[in-house]
């Protein structure tokens, strides 16, 4: 096995992906920021040969806001998984970190214009099971009015035609019947 090349560079040299179809919302950005504040950097990001961030744009953005200035770059060819060994957390902190790490993307949304443009260029439907890609693209107009903004929607509790109350979360805009 060839020893991987590891270098350290300034975070400022990384370039956010201009075609990133995933958008952070105030809530998702807050989860990432709180995780970095509480647990420090533990998640890797992925950059290409030109230092464009292909995965982890949210982590990059929030790290910059918190003053994290350095990044370790591990050059890889895709045949080896790169793991970050983070030390110094308690078992409770590890549990909290796992929840924070796994929920941040749940509170993000799609940039539907970029997603639609990319769909014209490449076929990535295999990453969206059960025709979810078409559902996302068809909902372009509908989703813009319900996506997260800095001003969350008012909560509501309205009775539908079925006699069930429709509830809308004031933080994320998710609607459900009860």
Q: Which domains does the chain have, with CATH numbers?
A: 1-109 (3.90.1530), 111-147 (no CATH), 151-178 (no CATH)
CA distance 57 to 168: 29
Ranges of H-type helices in 40-158: 57-65, 91-103, 112-121, 132-138, 140-146
Partner residues linked to 99 by β-bridges = none
Give the pLDDT score at 16.
95
Contacts of 103 (CB under 8 A, 6+ apart): 31
Give the pLDDT score at 130.
64
Give the pLDDT score at 9.
94
Question: By C-alpha distance, which of 140, 115, 10, 134 is closest to 64?
Answer: 10
The sign one gets for the Cα dihedral 123, 174, 65, 81 is negative
The predicted model scores a pTM of 0.68
Give the pLDDT score at 105.
84
Q: What is the pLDDT along the chain (178 residues), one digit of tens a residue?
A: 678 899 999 999 999 999 898 888 999 999 999 999 999 998 889 999 999 999 999 999 999 999 999 999 999 988 888 888 999 999 999 999 999 988 888 888 888 888 888 888 888 777 776 677 677 667 654 444 333 333 333 444 444 454 545 555 554 455 454 4
Q: Are 27 and 107 in contact (CB under 8 A)?
A: yes
């Amino acid at each position: 096995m060839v020893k991987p090349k590891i270098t350290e560079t300034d975070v400022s040299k990384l370039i956010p992906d201009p075609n990133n179809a995933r958008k952070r919302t105030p809530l998702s950005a807050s989860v990432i920021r709180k995780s970095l504040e509480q647990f420090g950097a533990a998640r890797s990001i992925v950059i290409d040969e030109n230092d464009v961030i292909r995965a982890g744009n949210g982590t990059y953005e929030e790290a910059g806001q918190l003053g994290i200035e350095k990044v370790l770059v591990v050059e890889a060819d895709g045949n080896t998984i790169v793991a970050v060994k983070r030390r110094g957390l308690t078992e409770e902190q590890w549990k909290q970190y796992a929840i924070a790490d796994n929920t941040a993307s749940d509170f993000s949304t799609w940039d539907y214009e970029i997603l639609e443009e990319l769909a014209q260029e490449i076929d990535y439907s295999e990453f969206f099971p059960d025709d979810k890609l078409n559902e996302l693209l068809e909902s372009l107009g509908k989703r813009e009015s319900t996506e997260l903004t800095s001003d969350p929607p008012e909560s509501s509790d309205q009775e539908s035609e079925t006699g069930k109350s429709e509830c809308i979360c004031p933080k994320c805009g998710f609607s459900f019947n009860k």
